[in-house]
Chains A and B, each alone.
Chain A
Amino acid sequence: MQNDQTLDSSTLHPTTSQTPITFTGNASDYFGIWIVNLLLSIVTLGIYSAWAKVRRKKYFYQNTLIDGVGFDYHAKPIAILKGRAIAFGLLMAYNLLAQMSPVLGVVLFILLLLAVPWLVLRGLTFNARNSSHRGLRFDFKSRYVDMAKVFVLYPILVAMSAGLAFPWWSRHLNNTLVNSHRFGLTPFKCEIKLGAIYRIYSKLLILVLLAIIIFPLLLSLGLVGFVFYFLLYPVFLAIGLLFFAEIKVRTSNLVWNNTQLDHVKFVSTQRVRDVFWLYFTNSLALMFSFGLATPWAQIRLARYRLAHLHLAGETQWDNFVGEKKEQVRATGEEIADMFDVDMSFG
């Protein structure tokens, strides 16, 4: 037996080649949630912020629908609170010990570097396992070594290449992240080509070269100073934002359009100029509303992104299967005893 909604929406577009992802959140509803979250977080001196995070994520997840069925977020606020307390305690200890002796500071820094892959792995796993769609949990399966490569070793190589290897790292990062995720037992697959990602960064490279030529020219004309601060600075900010949007949008499109989950392919059609305009107007709104426009800004960004993401072809949900509940609970409980804390940075 199927639920009525699923039948309805699949009979609505039996021959269309795309399944849309709909977003039903709206700014006025979310404003109430956001403001109550903020107030309770302030009143409880930050403790409620863990509950606030879950509430916020639930709102966005549950308002994201495929074939009329939403996603959900299941993290326990206590686990998030524990994670934050541990992170805070470690940070304080690090600062105190590093102040006591520089040698100890270096040792701790190396230890931290060694811990980064583990922390990222835990964080991504926590996030994936606590996300679900149609009762099936997502999962993140990777190894310490792979995380160490992507988040420690390769960034060092990128720095040594003066940033020229950055697109190469971006490709590796996105491939690894997508390929490690699973929906139920079904892994996502993603293979981005190196040429495609370098093409995205080519315009940025030209801009940097231009800046290298233009700056000394301005300096030699003695035009820096007044002209720089009052004329060029806003222009540079706008160009910076434009390129930020360009990289984000084109990378996001590239990753989604090369991702596959069983028979389901994704189609992402975001446009640079739209996203640039969203970023630009969001920044202005936040500035002039002293941050009160945050719910509106977040909602319209989410709405845009999801309105431009579709599933190609029809979704045959019967192809997917989740893990046996007992297994999930066992691993979950095992980990909960020691490490089941939110180490993600969101």
Chain B
Amino acid sequence: MFKADYYDGIHPQAQTVRVDIDGQTLVLTNQGQTQRFAVKDCDIQTQFGTGKSAQNKRIIDLPDGSRLESADPDMPICLASVVSQHSRALYFLENHKWSIVLALLGIVFASYVFLTQGIPLLAEGVARTLPASVEQKMGKEALATLDDPTLGYFAPSTLPQAETAAVRDALAQMCAHTKTCPSYRLHFRASPKIGPNAFALPGGDIVMTDELVKLSEQNAELVAVLAHELGHVKQRHALRQALQGTIAGLLVLAVTGDVSSVAAGLPVFMMQMRYTRDMENEADAYALQQLQSACIPPKYFASLMLRLEKTLKGESMPEWLASHPDTQKRIQPFLAPYPACEHV
């Protein structure tokens, strides 16, 4: 038996009662009167860690809405036979050093898996449901920002009309052959600040810098790079990337947002700035397939890439170089002989 404070649910004052556990029955003795309850109808609450200050207290909710609170030293032994397994397990998990360490490791692992696998999947799913008009609006806004003269990224192209028209035609020709290009809008911009580069913005806006055009020796090289950018457009990589950043930020807010902490989202937003290597590989595979089916020798992709690497020597690498450390390995598929072409 043990002593407990009994609250009847009507009067706020406790009565000291005697509690016995008789098999699967809880027997309550209050001033000589006894009440019996089936243990399965009582909620023997899982206790909390005893820590430094709190007492080792147990609360039992009785089926009639009244309750027992006990800190009697005899109480744990009395209740030992009727405390449920899951209650024991929960108490153990919450209070043992090693289970807490394991839980911590589990959470770190789960966060890692979620960040690297779950969020990209989620972003892909959301990207699929977003209407194309939303994506195009995002691209237009991004281009307008980059075009802002006070920021100094882009200036109007200084290339002769004939030169840009030739690139446009060459790309249009490739697409006419393959018939699988996504819809796109090609823009040329002068950008001493960024140097030779090409970008795919959300919604099909592709920007190529004058510096890249000047670096190329053939239009086929530029078409090869544009085929790679079309790969990003086709897979909606820019949108997915933006969504991933947003989802990761929201997640951090959800986990830590209990105490006003909007700032906690910042590190995550900074994490997701570039395309992942998987996305680059997808775009590469798409480019290779497009070039082959349009009978443009894929080696032009490799030749422009090698020249770029030489010119830049590692400083400010374009996106389609930077996230892939091993250029040699990457250009191998483009140098391999490709199936004979009938059109040429």
Could you tell me if B13 and A317 are in contact, using CB atoms closer than 8 angstroms? Answer: yes
| CB of A17 within 8 Å of the partner chain | no
Chain B contacts for A292, CB-based, 8 A? 104
Could you tell me if A26 and B52 are in contact, using CB atoms closer than 8 angstroms? Answer: yes
| CB of B100 within 8 Å of the partner chain | yes
Chain A contacts for B184, CB-based, 8 A? none
For the complex, count residues of A whose C-beta is within 8 A of B.
59
Give the CA-CA distance A338 to B205 in the complex, in Å.
53
Give the CA-CA distance A236 to B185 in the complex, in Å.
41
Q: What's the nearest-Cβ distance from chain A to residue B261, in Å? A: 5
| CB of B180 within 8 Å of the partner chain | no
Could you tell me if A69 and B90 are in contact, using CB atoms closer than 8 angstroms? Answer: no
Which residues A6-33 have CB closer than 8 A to chain B?
A: 6, 24-26, 28-29, 31-33
Chain A contacts for B69, CB-based, 8 A? 69-70
Give the CA-CA distance A286 to B256 in the complex, in Å.
7
Q: Is the contact region of chain A dominated by helix, strand, or loop, or is it mixed? A: helix
Could you tell me if B16 and A1 are in contact, using CB atoms closer than 8 angstroms? Answer: yes
Q: What's the nearest-Cβ distance from chain B to residue A166, in Å? A: 19
Which residues B275-318 have CB closer than 8 A to chain A?
A: none
Chain B contacts for A87, CB-based, 8 A? none
Give the CA-CA distance A301 to B260 in the complex, in Å.
11
| CB of A247 within 8 Å of the partner chain | no
Q: If the complex has contacts A24-B53, A32-B100, A36-B90, are A325 and B13 also in contact, measured as CB distance less than 8 A?
A: no
Chain B contacts for A317, CB-based, 8 A? 12-13
Give the CA-CA distance A294 to B260 in the complex, in Å.
11
Chain A contacts for B8, CB-based, 8 A? 135
| CB of B61 within 8 Å of the partner chain | yes
Could you tell me if B53 and A26 are in contact, using CB atoms closer than 8 angstroms? Answer: yes
Contact of B64 among A286, A323, A325 (CB under 8 A): A325
| CB of B107 within 8 Å of the partner chain | yes
7 further A-B contacts with Cβ under 8 Å, apart from A29-B51, A38-B255, A43-B110, are: A5-B5, A36-B103, A72-B67, A282-B260, A282-B261, A317-B12, A322-B9
A-side residues, CB < 8 A to B, are: 1-6, 24-26, 28-29, 31-33, 35-36, 38-39, 42-43, 55, 58-59, 62-63, 69-70, 72, 74, 133-137, 184, 241, 244, 279, 282-283, 286-287, 290-292, 294, 297-298, 301, 317-318, 320-325, 328-329
